[in-house]
């Protein structure tokens, strides 16, 4: 996703001289082409994310569109006061880009595990929260947040995420992308869990269970129409995210369903249990510990599908 973001950013910067990039003393392997082509619109602020956010706000208030870039929690939680008081309060056109959502930097330990960011950022006034599902969505999302007036948070994977969409997608902030069709239930994914979610749906489809898959790339504003349609047209809803089960995608969908006032549907949140991951490790290893591997998700889905599909359900899925 990182490469897709920079491709999208470079294309934007060629066409729009309002585009600026500020980094916190990292990312030079991918940021250097921007620096070389647009040196007057690039600034390395150093290891000073609070200053980076304040500078970005000041530049944005002169009419520019400013991207800040760092890894994991550094451009958001380390400088949350500046994000809230500077960027959001002033409705500044600042686009905060975090590389390494979830356990992307798993081996570096809990300081680099971005597992509460969606919940925290979506509570901030004026903030739009976007977490694309694959590199195709990431490149499209870069253009979408640049064109969106006001503060945005763009949560990306690190690198090497698999491509799910084999063609360009119509990416619109606040509108989910339907990736698979089905009426047995709906899997709603956000961020880099999309590939795993589609793989799970494809396994079940081979066993005669057709699930709808939604890529909910925007957490705020949530596509409530897509959620309510899934509740009316399918038999269960499951959210899947590489994020704490508290307050992220699952929380947003639960709020939507509860506030509808009339829809009752089997619902389950799959994500990271609240708490810190004790052992550092690879992203794949940490996902497995949380039950976010394909096998773990299939195991979690089995009792739910048995309940909603009985008596037609007979074949174990794990």
Question: What is the model's pLDDT at position 242?
Answer: 97
Residue 268 has phi, psi (to 5 degrees) of -145, 140
Equal CATH topology for 2-156 and 177-309? yes
Rounded to whole angstroms, how far apart are CA atoms 128 and 122?
A: 7
Average pLDDT of 36-45? 96
Q: What is the CATH superfamily name and number for domain 2-156?
A: Thiamin diphosphate (ThDP)-binding fold, Pyr/PP domains (3.40.50.970)
Of 269, 288, 298, 311, nearest in space to 211 by CA: 298
Rounded to whole angstroms, how far apart are CA atoms 70 and 99?
A: 6
What ranges do the domains of the chain cover? 2-156, 177-309
Q: What would the pLDDT profile of 141-174 be if each residue is shown by its tens digit?
A: 999 999 999 999 999 998 788 999 988 899 999 9
Confidence of residue 312 (pLDDT cuts 50, 70, 90): low
- All residues at 6 or more sequence positions from 29 whose CB lies less than 8 Å from its CB, including other chains: none
Average pLDDT of 175-197? 97
Percentages helix, strand, coil for the chain, rounded to the nearest 5?
40, 20, 40
Q: What pTM was computed for the model?
A: 0.94
Question: What is the model's pLDDT at position 311?
Answer: 58
Q: What would the pLDDT profile of 244-261 be if each residue is shown by its tens digit?
A: 999 999 999 999 999 998
Q: Yes or no: is domain 177-309 CATH 3.40.50.920? A: yes
Is the pLDDT reported for residue 234 higher than 50?
Answer: yes
**Could you report how far apart the first and last alpha carbons of the chain are, in Å?**
30
């Amino acid at each position: 996703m990182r490469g897709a973001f920079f491709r999208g950013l470079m294309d934007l910067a060629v066409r729009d001289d309002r585009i600026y990039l500020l980094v916190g003393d990292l990312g030079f392997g991918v940021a250097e082409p921007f620096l070389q082509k647009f040196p007057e619109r690039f600034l390395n602020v150093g290891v000073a994310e609070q200053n980076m956010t304040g500078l970005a706000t000041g530049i944005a208030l002169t009419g520019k569109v400013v991207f800040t870039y760092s890894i994991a929690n550094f451009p958001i939680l380390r400088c949350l006061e500046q994000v809230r008081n500077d960027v959001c309060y002033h409705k500044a056109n600042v686009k905060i880009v975090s590389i390494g959502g979830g356990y992307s930097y798993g081996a570096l330990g809990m300081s680099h595990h971005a597992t509460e960011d969606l919940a925290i950022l979506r509570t901030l006034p004026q903030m739009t929260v976007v977490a694309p599902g694959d590199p195709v969505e990431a490149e499209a999302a870069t253009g979408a947040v640049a064109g969106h007036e006001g503060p945005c948070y763009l949560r990306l994977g690190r690198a090497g995420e698999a491509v799910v969409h084999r063609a360009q997608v119509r990416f619109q902030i606040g509108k989910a992308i339907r990736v698979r069709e089905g009426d047995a239930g709906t899997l709603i994914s956000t961020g880099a869990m999309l590939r795993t979610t589609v793989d799970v749906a494809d396994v079940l489809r081979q066993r005669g269970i057709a699930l709808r898959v939604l890529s909910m790339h925007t957490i705020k504003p949530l596509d409530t129409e897509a959620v309510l349609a899934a509740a009316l047209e399918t038999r269960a809803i499951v959210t899947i995210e590489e994020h704490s089960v508290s307050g992220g995608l699952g929380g947003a969908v639960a709020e939507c369903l509860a506030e509808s006032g009339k829809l009752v549907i089997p619902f389950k949140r799959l994500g990271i249990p609240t708490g810190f991951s004790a052992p550092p490790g690879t992203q794949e290893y940490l996902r497995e510990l949380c039950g976010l591997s394909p096998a773990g998700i299939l195991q979690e889905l089995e009792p739910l599908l048995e309940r909603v599909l009985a008596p037609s359900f007979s074949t174990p899925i794990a």
